[in-house]
Chains A and B, each alone.
Chain A
Amino acid sequence: MALDKATVARIATLARIRLSDDELAPLAAELSHILTWIGRLNEVDTTGVAPLASVAAVSLPMRDDTVTDGNCADAILGNAPVAAKGFFAVPKVVE
Chain B
Amino acid sequence: MNANQPLPTLAEAGRLIASGEASPVELTEAALARAAALNDRLAAFIEITAERARAAARRAEREIAGGRRRGRLHGIPYGLKDIYDAAGLRTTAHSRLLLDNVAAADAETTARLEAAGMILIGKLATHEFATGGPAFDLPFPPARNPWNTAHFTGGSSSGSGAAVASGILPLAMGSDTGGSIRVPAAYCGTVGLKPTYGRVSRRGVVPLCYSLDTCGPLTWTVEDAALALQALAGHDPRDPGSADVPVPDYATALRHGVAGLRIGYAKGFNDDGKVAAEQAAALDAAAALLAKLGAEVIEVALPPNDHFQACARTISHSESFAIHAEDLKTRPELYARVTRERLTLGAFITARQYVQAQRLRRILTRRVDTLFERCDVLLTAVIPGPAPLLEETDTSPWRSAQPLASVFNVTGHPALAQPCGFAANGLPLSAQFVGRAFDEATVLRVGHAYERAAGWTARRPALAGLSG
Contact = CB atoms under 8 A, between A and B. Distances in A.
A54 B438 CA distance: 14
The residue in B355, B360, B411 that gathers the most chain A C-beta atoms within 10 A of its C-beta is B360
Contacts of B199: 56
Interface in B3-61: none
Interface string B335-373: 000000000010011000101111111110100000000
Interface in A24-72: 30, 33-34, 37-38, 40-42, 44, 46, 49-61
Interface of A: 30, 33-34, 37-38, 40-42, 44, 46, 49-61
Given A56-B198, A56-B241, A57-B198, A41 B356 contact: yes
A79 B345 CA distance: 55
B244 interface: yes
B2 interface: no
Contacts of A44: 307, 360, 363
A53 B309 CA distance: 18
A9 to B, nearest CB: 17
B372 to A, nearest CB: 14
B310 A38 contact: yes
B136 interface: no
B197 A41 contact: no
Nearest to B357: A41
Nearest to A57: B243
Contacts of A37: 306, 309-310, 313-314, 398
A52 B358 contact: yes
A14 B437 CA distance: 47
Contacts of B243: 56-58
A51 B355 CA distance: 6
A51 B362 contact: yes
A46 B309 CA distance: 17
Interface in B366-414: 396-398, 400, 411-412
A92 to B, nearest CB: 52
19 contacts: A30-B396, A41-B356, A46-B356, A46-B359, A46-B363, A49-B359, A49-B363, A52-B361, A52-B365, A55-B197, A55-B198, A55-B211, A56-B197, A56-B199, A56-B242, A57-B437, A58-B242, A58-B244, A60-B240
B87 interface: no
B281 interface: no
Interface in B256-287: none
Contact of A55 (B357, B359, B411): B411
A41 B358 CA distance: 10
A58 B242 CA distance: 7
B294 interface: no
Contacts of A49: 359, 362-363
Given A54-B211, A55-B197, A40 B306 contact: yes
A6 B199 CA distance: 50
B359 A57 contact: no
Given A37-B309, A41-B310, A61 B360 contact: no
A52 B309 CA distance: 16
B427 interface: no
A84 B349 CA distance: 64
A30 B363 contact: no
Nearest to B397: A30
B198 to A, nearest CB: 3
A51 B196 CA distance: 20
A54 B411 CA distance: 10
A56 to B, nearest CB: 3
A55 B360 contact: no
Contacts of A58: 198, 240-244
A40 B310 contact: yes
Nearest to A42: B356
B356 A50 contact: no
